[in-house]
């Protein structure tokens, strides 16, 4: 799992090379109070840690979250649940399932059909304790069916087939049986979740608590599964199917089980999603959401339950919560740049030099541009609050920022690629104009089009994480045997 | 019968388009064993380049240069720029991951695809850009055989597509670069040991494949008239289907697969309903994968131990 206090003494584990583990330990052994806190949290064991996280999550609404924040929390928890389920298939069994979103849709549509007036003359209104197991078992069977090709197809081929399964699901709900599935108009007025006859989940608060409970429960179950025979078999199959088979692991059955378990978790998330939204539409289950789940899983670290949940929560809070209002996304953007610089730039002298140079460059460029053409700086930063006030004489935002902003964006991408390619002092020198240009493009264009910016962020997370830290924030680096 | 042949002509034209995209996709898969999910988005970029070339030379109804010259500029510019973009993507995102676990470049490719699509959305907005092909290539310029009409754009797409496919085949079979590509596809390490510049060969393959996608993008703009940031995803999916149905990594397979998908699509739209076209194409793909995972013309890959 995450960082160990001692070098791994139990010998090589499945999926982690001894030498790499030692190197990773030496690299990531944190001194000082950070390390002390890490080691303390390691000592108390996994279930108290999970319980503490759950209690903390449940206590959050007591701080007085508004309706919007609560909705962000609910969305984040749904995606976290999905990421934890996807982790079974992708992280543990190593099967690239690009149709995972269809199981989420299946759960949502299944629950919607069983708890609305859509089917039959009076509709079916099953109590949730009955419809939930039905939907989840149905999803598990569907997962087995979709997993069947995984017996013969490996790697990329499986990715294609599952991708098309996901696309086919969207096409299916869009076009087939518009009478009962509703076509593009979806299914509306779905019953809320009702259990034991009279306990009904109506408010967003109740769904928030339900989701926190479910996420903690699912994570606990998966943690037990992870350390069980099945969990070990999954990782063995991921590392080397042939070796696993020769050690009498039933490879096909193990793969199918991963698909079925993943599908069940996704369907569970789908039911809650449908009940909370009171409606389902085909577009809720399209590829962008799938990529969102992947971004969460990759950011946190595939193969790690806590990582998957944390990554998904971080991605969703940024995606849905922070990247909406100019003030908060400003903190996020500049905070992230500063944090990256502080972590990556050593020694401190160089960090100070880069920051000072950036500041000087900005004021100089602004002054020169204003002297040449006042209209070129007439726009002013689009951020809000004190950040905008501080940047007023620093960033160049033209009166009509769209076209210059677009060119700035293209130039920024080119500069970022160039920074990765060059080495040594050139990188430090290039960093200065890049940071400045990033700030200008942000103020001129990105913050205005926040709905596009957040999608760009998701794509960037996938690219950057895969290249810079494929094990994710919380994962342990694996070595793949050369084939 | 006229309807049948009309649908066949339309299907073959669309199929040629899919073949061109599928060829690039299949070439990249051949040398890198990577499903380049961003390939469809390169096609979208090509379509936008064509659109801006038309706008640059005065717009569709008031062109300042002769039409053949315009077409030449469109195709060459799209091929060069999109090819360059493909090489840049390979250099920046895929090369560092060449020896990483198989799943890593795949996820990177998904990220690149998403990034390209949304960059186009940021730069060009969500509205449809229209080529208005009929303003500078009139419908009357085509040929009429019985009740079947083939317009000039279709003829041009077919001719150019055929020429490019034949050219690619000659390049892969006859030239030194083609030989190097085949060597890298067969075994990268062995090719490197024999003194082949693997990095250059892979970059060249990316350039060619992406250039094909760019040209196909311009063609799609001329044929279907509409360009927006999301056209790449579906076209990419269709091209995957074509490449996989024909046998991934096999160039004749990609051409055959593209034609099959195009014709099947055209007939379903014509005889059944356009609602089920995509669903059918996806079902066809899943069926082919289950029955013959190596595709129609592909060779079953032995799993090396």
Give the highest mean pLDDT range of A232-241, B71-80, B139-148, B294-303.
Answer: B71-80
CA distance linking residue B222 with residue A106, whole number of Å: 39
Pair of tokens at residue A393: 């004489």
Helices in A422-449 by DSSP H: which ranges?
425-441
**What is chain A's alpha carbon radius of gyration, rounded to the nearest angstrom?**
25
B295 has pLDDT over 90: no
pLDDT recorded at residue B300: 62
> Would B230 be classed as within a structural domain?
yes
Q: What percentage of chain B reaches a pLDDT higher than 90?
A: 50
B119·A413 Cβ contact <8 A = yes
Closest in B35, B121, B286 to A165, CB measured: B286
B76 has pLDDT over 90: yes
pLDDT recorded at residue A101: 95
Closest in B92, B93, B285 to A164, CB measured: B285
What's the domain range around B188?
Answer: 35-242
CA distance linking residue B109 with residue B129, whole number of Å: 26
pLDDT recorded at residue B238: 86
Question: How far is CA A456 from each of CA A62, A312, A370, B121, rounded to the nearest angstrom?
Answer: 33, 16, 31, 10
> Would B7 be classed as within a structural domain?
no
Confidence of residue B303 (pLDDT cuts 50, 70, 90): low
Higher pLDDT residue, A15 or B145? Answer: B145
Closest in A168, A445, A463 to B282, CB measured: A168
- Best probe of the B interface among A159, A164, A458, by most B CBs < 10 A, is A164
Could you give the number of structural domains in chain B? Answer: 1
Look at domain A45-322 and name its CATH class: mainly alpha
pLDDT recorded at residue A482: 46
Which long-range contacts link B298-304 to residues 24+ away (Cβ below 8 Å)?
B298/B246, B298/B247, B298/B248, B298/B249, B298/B250, B298/B253, B299/B247, B299/B250, B303/A154, B303/A242, B304/A483
B101·A478 Cβ contact <8 A = yes
Residues of B in contact with A451 (CB under 8 A): none
Closest in B93, B112, B118 to A452, CB measured: B118
Closest in B103, B116, B278 to A171, CB measured: B278
Residues of A in contact with B105 (CB under 8 A): 466
Higher pLDDT residue, A480 or B259? Answer: B259
> Would B130 be classed as within a structural domain?
yes
- Best probe of the A interface among B30, B87, B103, by most A CBs < 10 A, is B103
pLDDT in tens, A389-447: 888 888 888 888 888 889 999 999 999 988 888 888 888 899 999 999 999 999 888 88
> Would B255 be classed as within a structural domain?
no
Count of positions (residues) in chain B: 305
Q: Which residue of A has its CA nearest to B101?
A: A480
Positions in chain A short of pLDDT 70? 1-16, 24-31, 154-155, 197, 475-483
Q: Which residue of B has its CA nearest to A480?
A: B101
Residues of A in contact with B278 (CB under 8 A): 167, 171
Please, what sign has the CA dihedral across residues B177, B179, B182, B184?
negative
pLDDT recorded at residue A432: 92
Rounded to 5°, angle at Cα A414 from B45 and A465: 90
pLDDT recorded at residue A2: 45
**A-B C-beta contacts closer than 8 Å:** 138
Domain range summary for chain A, segments of one domain joined by +: 1-43, 45-322, 327-448
Beta-carbon contacts of A312 under 8 Å, excluding residues fewer than 6 positions away, are A76, A79, A80, A82, A83, A84, A293, A296, A297, A299, A300
Quick count: other Cβ atoms within 10 Å of Cβ B177? 15
pLDDT recorded at residue A480: 53
pLDDT recorded at residue A444: 87
Residues of A in contact with B110 (CB under 8 A): 291, 294, 462
- Best probe of the B interface among A466, A482, A483, by most B CBs < 10 A, is A466
pLDDT recorded at residue B301: 58
Residue A145 Cα, gap to closest chain B Cα (Å): 12
Which residue has 């996994």 as its token pair? A46
Closest-CA residue to B231 (of B33, B9, B50, B28): B50
pLDDT in tens, B211-245: 999 999 999 999 998 999 989 988 888 888 888 88
pLDDT recorded at residue A134: 93
- ipTM score for this prediction: 0.86
B68 has pLDDT over 50: yes
B136 has pLDDT over 70: yes
pLDDT recorded at residue A96: 87
pLDDT recorded at residue A221: 94
- Best probe of the B interface among A411, A455, A459, by most B CBs < 10 A, is A459
Which residue has 């992870």 as its token pair? A226
pLDDT recorded at residue B305: 47
Which residue has 């040209």 as its token pair? B215
């Amino acid at each position: 799992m995450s960082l160990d206090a001692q070098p791994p003494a139990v010998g090589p584990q499945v999926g982690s090379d001894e030498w790499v583990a030692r190197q990773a330990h030496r690299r990531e052994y944190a001194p000082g109070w950070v390390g002390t806190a890490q080691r303390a949290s390691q000592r108390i064991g996994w279930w108290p840690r999970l319980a503490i996280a759950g209690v903390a999550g449940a206590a959050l609404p007591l701080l007085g979250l508004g309706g919007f924040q609560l909705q962000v929390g609910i969305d984040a928890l749904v995606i976290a649940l999905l990421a934890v389920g996807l982790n079974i298939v992708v992280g543990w069994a190593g099967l690239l399932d690009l149709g995972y979103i269809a199981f989420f849709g299946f759960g949502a549509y299944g629950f919607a059909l069983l708890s609305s007036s859509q089917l039959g003359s009076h509709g079916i209104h099953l109590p949730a304790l009955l419809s939930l197991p039905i939907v989840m078992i149905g999803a598990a069977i569907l997962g087995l069916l979709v997993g069947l090709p995984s017996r013969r197809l490996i790697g990329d081929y499986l990715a294609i087939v599952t991708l098309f399964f996901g696309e086919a699901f969207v096409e299916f709900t869009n076009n087939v049986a518009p009478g009962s599935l509703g076509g593009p108009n979806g299914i509306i007025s779905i019953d809320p979740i009702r259990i034991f006859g009279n306990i009904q989940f109506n408010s967003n608060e109740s769904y928030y608590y339900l989701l926190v409970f479910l996420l903690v429960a699912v994570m606990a179950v998966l943690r037990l599964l992870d350390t069980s025979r099945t969990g070990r078999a999954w990782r063995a199959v991921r590392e080397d199917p042939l070796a696993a088979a020769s050690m009498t692991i039933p490879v096909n059955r193990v793969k199918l089980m991963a698909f079925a378990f993943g599908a069940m978790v996704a369907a569970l998330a789908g039911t809650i999603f449908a009940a909370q939204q009171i409606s389902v539409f085909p577009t809720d289950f399209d590829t962008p959401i799938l990529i969102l789940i992947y971004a969460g899983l990759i950011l946190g670290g595939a193969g790690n339950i806590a990582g998957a949940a944390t990554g998904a929560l971080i991605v969703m809070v940024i995606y849905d919560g922070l990247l909406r209002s100019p003030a908060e996304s400003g903190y996020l953007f500049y905070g992230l740049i500063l944090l990256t610089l502080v972590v990556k730039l050593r020694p401190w002298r160089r960090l100070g030099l880069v920051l000072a140079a950036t500041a000087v460059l900005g004021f100089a460029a602004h002054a020169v541009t204003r002297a040449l053409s006042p209209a070129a700086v007439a726009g002013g930063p689009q951020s809000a609050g004190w950040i905008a006030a501080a940047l007023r004489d620093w960033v160049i935002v033209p009166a009509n920022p769209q076209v210059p902003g677009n060119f700035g964006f293209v130039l920024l991408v080119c500069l970022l690629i160039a920074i990765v390619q060059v080495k040594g002092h050139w990188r430090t020198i290039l960093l200065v104009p890049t940071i400045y240009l990033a700030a200008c493009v942000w103020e001129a264009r990105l913050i205005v089009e926040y709905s596009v910016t957040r999608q760009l962020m998701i794509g960037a997370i996938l690219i950057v994480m895969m290249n810079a830290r494929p094990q994710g924030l919380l994962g342990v680096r694996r070595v793949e045997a050369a084939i | 019968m006229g309807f049948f042949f009309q649908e066949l002509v339309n299907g073959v034209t669309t199929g040629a388009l899919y073949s061109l995209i599928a060829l690039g996709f299949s070439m990249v898969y051949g040398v890198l064993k990577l499903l380049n999910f961003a390939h469809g988005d390169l096609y979208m970029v090509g379509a936008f380049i064509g659109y801006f070339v038309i706008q640059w030379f005065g717009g569709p109804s008031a062109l300042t240069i002769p039409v053949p010259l315009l077409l030449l500029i469109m195709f060459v510019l799209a091929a060069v720029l999109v090819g360059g973009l493909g090489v840049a993507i390979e250099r920046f995102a895929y090369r560092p991951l060449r020896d990483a676990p198989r799943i890593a470049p795949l996820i990177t490719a998904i990220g690149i695809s998403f990034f390209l699509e949304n960059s186009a959305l940021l730069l060009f907005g969500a509205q449809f850009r229209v080529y208005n092909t009929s303003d500078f290539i009139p419908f009357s310029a085509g040929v009429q055989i019985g009740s079947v009409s083939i317009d000039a754009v279709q003829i041009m797409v077919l001719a150019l597509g055929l020429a490019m496919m034949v050219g690619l085949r000659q390049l892969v079979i006859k030239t030194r670069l083609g030989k190097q590509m085949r060597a890298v596809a067969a075994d990268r390490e062995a090719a490197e040991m024999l003194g082949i510049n693997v990095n250059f060969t892979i970059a060249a393959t990316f350039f060619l494949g992406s250039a094909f996608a760019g040209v196909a993008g311009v063609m799609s703009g001329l044929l279907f008239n509409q360009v927006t940031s999301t056209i790449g995803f579906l076209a990419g999916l269709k091209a995957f289907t074509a490449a996989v149905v024909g046998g991934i990594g096999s160039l004749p397979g990609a051409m055959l697969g593209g034609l099959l998908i195009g014709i099947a699509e055209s007939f379903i739209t014509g005889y059944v309903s356009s609602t089920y076209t995509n669903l059918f194409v996806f079902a066809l793909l899943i069926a082919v994968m289950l029955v013959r995972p190596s595709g129609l013309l592909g060779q079953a890959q032995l799993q090396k131990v």
